[in-house]
Amino acid sequence: MPLGYDTASADITPARFNLKELLFADRRRAAQRAGLRDLKYRAMLDLRLADGACYRDDFAGGEEKFEGRLDMLASISRTGVAFNPNWSFRSGDPVGRLEEVAAGVLRYNQPPNTAGGRLLESTGATNKGRNPRFEGATAGALDGAGVLPSNVTVTGIADSAVSVVSTGYASGWPYLRIRLNGTPSSAPRIILEGLTQIAAATASEWTHSVGLALAAGSLTNVASVGVRIAERTSGGADVAAGSNDVTPDATHRRYVYSRTLSGGGTVAAITHEIIVNWSTGAIDVTLDILLPQIESGLAATSPVMPDEDDPAESTRGGETLTDGFAFTRASRAHAAKWDWSNGGQVGPLKEFLPNTMRQVEGAGLFVEPAVTCKNRNSRHLGAVAGTPGTAPTHHIVSGGGASTEIVGSGIEDGWPYVDVRWFGTPSGRMYMRFEGQTQIVVATGQKWCTTVGMRLTAGTLANITETKIRMDERTSGGSFVVGKIGPAIALDRSHRRFWHGATLDGGGTVERLDPQVEIVYDGSGDVDFTIRFYAAQITNTLTPRQPVLPEPNTTGEATRAAEMLTMTTTMNALGRSLYIEGFTLGETAGSTNWLLTLYKDAVNFGGYDLTNNLLYLDDYSPSGYFASNNPQAAGIGEVVRAAYCYAANDMAFSREGFDQVFDTSGSNTIDTATLGIGNLGGSASATAFCFSEIRIFPDRIEDEDAEALVSNAA
């Protein structure tokens, strides 16, 4: 049996259930069979998003399911098997186990160091390489008994210097282990397909993805190893080429190179290759090459392989959701457990792939509008340790007369950080600026927020009056206009996240913002302390957002795309009821801020506006609505519990702490509706929210039950 691969299993996706969850499901079913009235067991959709227990009973005509994650409750249509790479799809990132998943089964992708989630690829893909399993090889030197895998050739080095060490499977990934030991005549190229096999034309787009690892030897006399695409004539002659040049290490990482062909009219074919960029002298390097894939387009997709012992082009079909669970976010995103209090402790920071729900254990499902982090170095890159050392790029450290030291930088529990020490006798204020004074363009009247994690890593704050976040309003040339100063911060040895938001009011000359942490000296004695700063960010919001980071090892503004969760459900004469619970992540006063909507044929006909406490019920326009007796927005971090009960001519709305309100004027017959949460099409804006629980009931529950759900006293 090859290492790490089970050919007898068509679906080796690991189980994600635990005993507690299974007992929860059994209790629910038993209660349903007994006809109990308890609302906890009547929900057709019960999403305990903070606890990691999600249940669906015949939602939109599907079968009952019980899962630890909301996104895995969905059902899909896909012909044929597919492979789950447990990879982030970022070039150079490590991979986990390659899993084969049966037709029609959802894939759960769990990359190393990245949060897991549903992998859904709506468009199919074809791997044009015929032998990604490296079949047909024989171990040994090529000038002896050794034979390369079918369709693979090596150029630039003598056969006597090339050996097939082994082929097989490592954690499910097919590999070729090949040794190059000698002095090349030119940069050795491991060509992974016949020279004229893959037809292509100039201006067409192609992507080569492949796993690489340094298995033995060294990169002495090797400048880099390139993931390469070569453009060729109909006779196989080289026309043009390009590569992503990397430095493989002992870890299996998957690399990507995308290319738009540019060789002109003679281009008729391509080859995907590994090139060893040799400089001079002898080399001795052994590489693992794992599951090469060459496909059309400018993005790598999940691996596609033919059946064993049947080398040929292979295709994975597209995947389609069949039961209305859809989630969209066009970008990667990050999230950590945090209660949004100023100075609250935070959990590890996790990265989520595009279109993957940010469900964080112990918190819930985070859904936010689009946001841009305007400071260019929220990863605190470019720091050089020393006294004073070099501050991270675009940062400014001031000692205020005291000495400063950059102690170090790195990543802790997923959070990028930099450590800064102040010591000696200050003569003025000390500060850490997170951006140049004339970089962030603003205008008076706008809302801005600076958010940063901090903890004291060494020393004490003796002789320090206070530490606080401030944002200075400046002219386009950097002249000070007015300062927006936050409350005093209490630092300790715990990682806490602090923020300060303000509406700029410095007048017409204000055009720039200067965000910083200010440390105020009390004027007596020496100081000696070290503060660790985590993932500072400046956003055009009044309140903080989950961190938005640029790609690893890069600087620049970063944007997280808007998020939208939709669930389609069949309505009936009994109506529907909805319960939601969670807490707000941002400001809601001053404008319409939708928390959720129900809509039909892509037209909003109902929705809850958190700012004004309004529930819109009209079919095609928000003209028929009712409001509570005392409309009130929710404050940041405030828990919201609300229930919406619907039947023809009989609607009710409950929210914790408010009077229940009713409407009997609706006359619409609704057959199918979609519940939308997040960035709601056609609405003014969406509320940033963390959902800890969502329940949908198969009927219009009683008014007193709705009140009990939201914890309103009878």
Question: If DSSP states are collapsed to H, E and C, what string results for 672-696?
Answer: EEEEEEECCCCCCCECCEEEEEEEE
pLDDT digits (tens, 9 = 90+) for 450-480: 999 999 999 999 999 999 999 999 999 999 9
pLDDT digits (tens, 9 = 90+) for 81-132: 999 999 999 999 999 999 999 998 999 999 998 888 889 999 999 999 999 9
Which tokens in the block code for residue 195? 């020279």
Q: Taking Cα atoms as reference points, which of 625, 601, 600 lies closest to residue 612?
A: 625
Reply yes or no on whether the pLDDT at 590 is more than 60: no
pLDDT digits (tens, 9 = 90+) for 512-569: 999 999 999 999 999 999 999 999 999 999 999 999 999 999 999 999 998 888 776 6
pLDDT digits (tens, 9 = 90+) for 214-258: 999 999 999 999 999 999 999 999 999 999 999 999 999 999 999
Rounding to the nearest 10 degrees, give the CA dihedral for residues 4, 71, 349, 16. Answer: -40
Q: How confident is the model at residue 584 (pLDDT cuts 50, 70, 90)?
A: confident
Residue 231: the pLDDT is 98
Residue 603: the pLDDT is 54
Residue 578: the pLDDT is 83
Q: Are 269 and 236 in contact (CB under 8 A)?
A: yes
Reply yes or no on whether the pLDDT at 137 is more than 60: yes
Residue 610: the pLDDT is 60
Mention every residue, 6+ apart, whose C-beta is less than 8 A from residue 158: 143, 182, 185
Q: Are 466 and 546 in contact (CB under 8 A)?
A: no
The DSSP-derived string for 243-276 is EEEE---SS-EEEEEEEE--S-TT--EEEEEEEE
3-class state of residue 379 by DSSP: coil
Which tokens in the block code for residue 113? 């160091």
Reply yes or no on whether the pLDDT at 32 is more than 60: no
Question: Own/partner pairs for 202-205, CB < 8 Å, 24+ apart?
Answer: 202/231, 202/261, 202/262, 202/263, 202/264, 202/265, 202/267, 203/260, 203/261, 203/262, 204/260, 204/261, 204/296, 205/258, 205/259, 205/260, 205/261, 205/296, 205/297, 205/298
The label of the residue with tokens 């001031």 reads 398
Q: Taking Cα atoms as reference points, which of 368, 395, 416, 375 lies closest to residue 544?
A: 368
The whole-angstrom separation of Cα 125 and Cα 294 is 10
Helices and strands per DSSP (H, E), number in the chain: 2, 54
Query: Within 10 Å of residue 19's Cβ, how many Cβ atoms?
Result: 7
Q: Taking Cα atoms as reference points, which of 81, 87, 113 lies closest to residue 12?
A: 81
pLDDT digits (tens, 9 = 90+) for 603-656: 555 566 665 555 555 443 333 444 444 445 677 888 888 888 877 677 788 888
The whole-angstrom separation of Cα 608 and Cα 611 is 9
pLDDT (average), residues 661-680: 62
pLDDT digits (tens, 9 = 90+) for 152-189: 999 999 999 999 999 999 999 999 999 999 999 999 99
Task: Give the predicted TM-score (pTM) of the model.
Answer: 0.87
CA distances (Å), origin 668, targets 287, 573, 600, 683, 699:
66, 11, 11, 21, 16
Highest mean pLDDT among 4-18, 259-273, 699-713: 259-273
CA distances (Å), origin 594, targets 370, 520, 544, 633, 643:
14, 41, 18, 11, 15
Phi-psi region of 86 (alpha: psi -120 to 50; beta: other; left: phi over 0): left
Positive or negative CA dihedral for 159, 163, 168, 170?
Answer: negative
